[in-house]
Amino acid sequence: MSQSLIDLVNISKSFDGELVLDDLNLSVKENEFVTLLGPSGCGKTTTLRIIGGFEKADTGQVIFDGQDISHLPPNKRQLNTVFQKYALFPHMNIAENIAFGLKIKNKSKSYIQDKIKYALKLVNLDGYENRTVDSLSGGQQQRIAIARAIVNEPRLLLLDEPLGALDLKLRQDMQYELIRMKKELGITFIYVTHDQEEALTMSDTIVVMNQGYIQQMGTPEQIYNEPENAFVADFIGDSNILGGIMIRDELVEILGAKFPCVDKGFGNNKPVDVVIRPEDVELVEPSQGTLVGTCTHLIFKGVHYEMEVTTPDGFEWLVHSTKLCPVGQKTGIHVDPFNIQIMNKPASEDEEALGVNE
Amino acid sequence: MSRKMLAGPYIIWVVGFTVIPLLLIVYYGLTTASGAFTLNNVTAIAQPEHAKALGLALLLSLISTVVCLLLAFPLAMILRNRGVGRGSFVVFLFILPMWMNFLLRTLAWQTLLEKNGVINGILGFLHLPKIAIINTPAAIVLGMVYNFLPFMVLPLYNVLCKIDDNTINAARDLGANFFQTLIRVWIPLSVPGIISGITMVFVPALTTFVISNLLGGSKILLIGNVIEQEFTRSSNWNLGSGLSLVLMVFILISMMLVEKYDKNGEGTAF
Amino acid sequence: MKTTKEKILHIVENGYLGVILVFLYAPILTMMALSFNSSKSRAQWGGFTLEWYAQMFDSASITSALYNTLYIALMSALIATVIGTAAAIGMNSMKRTPRAVLTSLGNIPMLNAEIVTGISLMLGFIAFGITLGRTTILLGHITFNLPYVVLSVMPKLKQTNKSTYEAAMDLGASPVYAFFKVVFPDILPGVLSGFLLAFTMSLDDFIITHFTKGSGVNTLSTLIYSEVRRGIKPSMYALSTIIFVTVLALLIVANFAPGKKKSEAAA
């Protein structure tokens, strides 16, 4: 395990009396690609701005490589930011934009020239030195913003929804580009997005945030397969979230039917939340199903069918399956034990604030 | 009926009350009282008393413009960074005097500065030495700065408000300290507002006759005073027009500068 | 958590704003205070009085100047608003080049030095054989008010949705009916602020009036100017106070009237 590059310790921040970050702790290792993921207003951008030095935390510390940088202004921090709307300098050409940080540091002309060339090559825009900012497309401006940041050889690059303004196709291309650059440069990335797909594709670690709290932190697989609460389950991908009762270890009752599962230690006859991913719902013959429902909705999605199966109690199950069940037909529902994810119900109001009812 | 016809009265008005009268200045400026062509009215600017009036007007209005710029830039930056928002009451307070009768505002300064005026009254009450800047060029500069400062604040404020916070943050992020950010980002991006503000202060300051009259006494003549007197007292319209033509050269240069640097009208007052 | 450096900076900034505000307003406030000062000396407070206001309203020259000022401000603003609004609508359907030419020519009185506009109008009136008097002041004021009205109405016209006008006609409205029912309500705020702006500008004008007035006709500004050169009387302070308060009220209405978008209010 390598040492952590940046640590946020007990960070709190409020704007106009409204708490945006509540006692946040986060540690990022050297050379990691960490994504802060959450809906707008969850505090992810504020967290990034506190690391960048554009916002001061009310309490807590920012530790960079073992040193407290909480009070350093942005220009004295060894990290760089790629801003949401690129924030290129409109009065400078591309080369001048990229050279900005290097000129401030009084680097030699030849060094700066080499760096510009190298950076433009890295972002696949060779020969763009003398172009003006407004002659570039959004995607190109974004690449220049990245080039402008990385020529300074920061140890940490902060990216604030850098792909948010691009269209879907370009966004996907840029995701791969970013992963490539990250590998080539070996810099630590902290990436902010509200797009769960982007987060799953690129990150080593995802930090799911809501209402100023970290909801869950883990690898993309962990976040997707083992969401710790209903908010994470709901935010990452589609899911069926149901109330259930943990009868005993490895047995849960959902909608009156008993499902074997693999979770233990919740106690006996305890109310719990149950998450089942739509692709984990198996459609079987009615006689073999744990529950029986009727298909009420059907869309062909290419890879699979998306169906809604309504059980007699009125719950609509979202099902992704390659097996077709026509509308109006009865079908059995089966879920393998290891695909049932059990979570504690929020017990108090404070936990309620964790955003379970989003 | 075409909708364009609705502009008809306006076209007639512009031609009748703006274009033709301006052409008349050109006509009078280039003719003698009997109607013969001459350049004497224009070259009269080289006569010592006229040259001195123009030179002094240029000097005082340049000083005033620079002082206004130096006062207004930090002011506009503070207002912008406070994020008080356009149209807020605080910004309104700084722009408001622009619309208040400048004759009255100059009169107010006369009241304050006069030998037996308010300031000297207060100084005397405190047993402090009296000031004697009324009827000096310094008083004229003070009056110009006072009258035209809001004209500098407004375009600067408008242009600064258009600068994205993240553009500034990016400069800081790339290592620039406050002064480097000021020189490399703030100022270059406010050029349209700076130029527009300079014009809005320089032109009225250069051409004023009221401020010099009320605060400069009768002995200090600016080019505005000379022209005004030719029209109202001496009734030498040809000479007055000729000198106005010279003045208009400076106005035209200012307008062309604005045209060049402020293409999108970013820095204008409206 | 703010560092001490930031706190100090904040105090310095506030101090700067304060100093400039004092610089801008202290002279005006002093004059207002003097208008209530019973002592004729400017340096002494002799007690509160309304004497100067009474004296002001007793003076025939002041009341006639007040009447002229209000008459010219109201008439010039009204006429400029009608011509200017019509012009804006007409210009909006013009082609690019003629519109640009007309805009540039029309803006001249706004950009030119006032002294030049003043003497050019004076020369024009005399060349056309119009005797200088109240009418020539009115004509002069309409001239410099027009571009402000056009500039106020134009952005509103650009914002109006063309298809609502076409939809009204599609539903059977005549062009005139469609205009007054659909377009006019949209541009009304611009028309009103143009009117108020023109009224304020006219009320405040001195230089154009100075050159276009005949002898014997005065507005408040020109009256003050001629009086001041003979020495300031306290009744002038009373008059100034009234003008300041009126203009202030008009500006607040024009800038903060409901329905006016905040972004446009700065001017």
Mean of the pLDDT values across residues B96-118?
Answer: 80
Q: What is the pLDDT of residue C257?
A: 64
φ, ψ dihedrals at A268, nearest 5°: -100, 140
Q: Which chains touch C (3 or more CB pairs under 8 A)?
A: A, B
Residues A199 and A152 in one domain: yes
Please give the Cα distance from A261 to A249 (Å, whole number).
Answer: 8
Model confidence over A59-101: pLDDT tens digits?
999 999 989 999 899 999 999 999 988 889 999 999 999 999 9
Edge-to-edge strand ranges of the sheet holding A305-310: A282-284, A330-334, A291-300, A305-310, A316-321
User: Sign of the C-alpha dihedral, residues C34, C39, C45, C50?
Assistant: negative
Please determine, for residue A176, whether its predicted confidence score (pLDDT) is greater than 60.
Answer: yes
Total structural domains in chain C? Answer: 1
Q: Which chains touch B (3 or more CB pairs under 8 A)?
A: A, C
End-of-domain residue from the set A170, A202, A225: A225
Domain-located, residue C79: yes
Nearest to B232 by CA among B206, B251, B209, B202: B209
∠C89-C94-C98 over CA atoms, to 5°?
Answer: 120
Model confidence over C73-102: pLDDT tens digits?
999 999 999 999 999 888 888 888 888 888
Q: Choose among B75, B107, B224: nearest Cβ to C115.
A: B224
CB contact under 8 A, A101 and B180: no
Q: Which of C22, C23, C31 to mutate to test the interface with B (most CBs of B within 10 A)?
A: C31
Please determine, for residue B262, whether its predicted confidence score (pLDDT) is greater than 70.
Answer: no
Q: What is the pLDDT of residue B101?
A: 76
CATH code, A42:
3.40.50.300
Size of interface A-C (CB pairs under 8 A): 6
Mean of the pLDDT values across residues C249-259?
Answer: 71
Domain-located, residue A144: yes
Residues of chain A neighbouring C2 (CB-CB closer than 8 A): 56
End-of-domain residue from the set A203, A225, A247: A225
Q: Which of B81, B174, B179 to mutate to test the interface with A (most CBs of A within 10 A)?
A: B174
Model confidence over B125-146: pLDDT tens digits?
888 888 888 888 999 999 999 9
Residues A53 and A114 in one domain: yes
Chain B residues interacting with chain A (CB cutoff of 8 angstroms)? 164, 166-167, 169-177, 180, 184-185, 188-189
Domain-located, residue C210: yes
Contact A48, A36 (CB under 8 A): yes
Please give the Cα distance from B121 to C34 (Å, whole number).
Answer: 13
CATH code, A246:
2.40.50.140
Structural domain for A274, as ranges = 239-352
Class of domain B48-224+255-261: mainly alpha
The least confident of A307-311, B206-210, C171-175 is C171-175
Residues A208 and A270 in one domain: no
The percentage of residues in chain A with a pLDDT greater than 90, rounded to a whole number, is 50
Q: Which of A54, A96, A132 to mutate to test the interface with B (most CBs of B within 10 A)?
A: A54
Quick one: closest CA in A to B188, which residue? A91
Q: Which of residues 40-99 of B touch C (CB under 8 A)?
A: 71, 74-75, 78-79, 85-89, 91-97, 99
Q: What is the pLDDT of residue A110?
A: 94
Domain-located, residue A233: no
End-of-domain residue from the set A198, A225, A252: A225
Closest CA–CA distance from residue A34 to any residue of chain C (Å): 27
Residues A62 and A179 in one domain: yes
Mean of the pLDDT values across residues A338-348?
Answer: 78
Contact A136, A90 (CB under 8 A): no
Residues A258 and A163 in one domain: no
Q: Which of residues 167-196 of B touch C (CB under 8 A)?
A: none
Confidence class for position A34, pLDDT limits 50, 70, 90: very high
Contact A133, A148 (CB under 8 A): no
Residues A174 and A244 in one domain: no
Q: What is the pLDDT of residue A357?
A: 39
Residues A276 and A180 in one domain: no
Residue of higher predicted confidence among C136 and C45: C136
Residues of chain C neighbouring A58 (CB-CB closer than 8 A): 1
CATH code, C78:
1.10.3720.10
Question: Residue B161: how many CA atoms within 13 Å on its side-chain side?
Answer: 22
Q: What mean pLDDT is reported for chain A?
A: 88
Please give the Cα distance from B136 to A210 (Å, whole number).
Answer: 67
- Give CA torsion, residues C165, C167, C170, C171, to 10 deg: -110
Please determine, for residue A358, whether its predicted confidence score (pLDDT) is greater than 50.
Answer: no
Please give the Cα distance from C101 to C84 (Å, whole number).
Answer: 16
Quick one: closest CA in A to C3, which residue? A71
Domain ranges of chain B: 48-224+255-261
Model confidence over B35-92: pLDDT tens digits?
888 888 888 888 888 899 999 999 999 999 999 999 999 999 999 888 766 567 788 8
Residues A167 and A265 in one domain: no
Q: What is the pLDDT of residue C2?
A: 61
Domain-located, residue A230: no
Q: What is the pLDDT of residue C175?
A: 80
Confidence class for position A265, pLDDT limits 50, 70, 90: confident
∠C240-C242-C246 over CA atoms, to 5°?
Answer: 115
Confidence class for position C262, pLDDT limits 50, 70, 90: very low
Quick one: closest CA in C to A14, which residue? C1
Enter the tokens of residue B165. 């916070």
Contact A208, A217 (CB under 8 A): yes
Q: What is the pLDDT of residue B214?
A: 87
Q: Which chains touch A (3 or more CB pairs under 8 A)?
A: B, C
CB contact under 8 A, B270 and C16: no
Beta partners for A208?
A37, A216
Query: Taking the CB of residue C32, how many other CB atoms lie within 10 A of it?
Result: 18
Mean of the pLDDT values across residues A171-194?
Answer: 89
Q: What is the pLDDT of residue A1?
A: 44
Residues of chain B neighbouring A152 (CB-CB closer than 8 A): 174-175
DSSP, collapsed to helix, strand or coil, labels residue A294 as strand
Burial class (CB in 10 A: 0-12, 13-18, 19+), A348: exposed
Residues of chain B neighbouring A149 (CB-CB closer than 8 A): 173-174
Mean of the pLDDT values across residues C8-25?
Answer: 91
Q: What is the pLDDT of residue C263?
A: 40
CB contact under 8 A, B174 and A100: yes
Q: Which of C29, C116, C243, C251 to mutate to test the interface with B (most CBs of B within 10 A)?
A: C116
Mean of the pLDDT values across residues A146-158?
Answer: 92
Structural domain for C157, as ranges = 58-264
The percentage of residues in chain C with a pLDDT greater than 90, rounded to a whole number, is 22
Q: What is the pLDDT of residue B265?
A: 54
User: Sign of the C-alpha dihedral, residues A69, A71, A76, A77?
Assistant: positive
CB contact under 8 A, B173 and A74: yes
Quick one: closest CA in C to A55, which residue? C1
Q: What is the pLDDT of residue B92?
A: 81
Quick one: closest CA in C to B269, which residue? C267
pTM of the model as a whole: 0.82
The percentage of residues in chain C with a pLDDT greater than 70, rounded to a whole number, is 94
For every residue of B65-127, DSSP letters joined together read HHHHHHHHHHHHHHHHHTT--TT-HHHHHHHGGGGS-HHHHHHHHHHHHSTTSHHHHHHHHTT
Please determine, for residue A351, whether its predicted confidence score (pLDDT) is greater than 70.
Answer: no
Chain A residues interacting with chain C (CB cutoff of 8 angstroms)? 56-59, 71
Residues A287 and A251 in one domain: yes
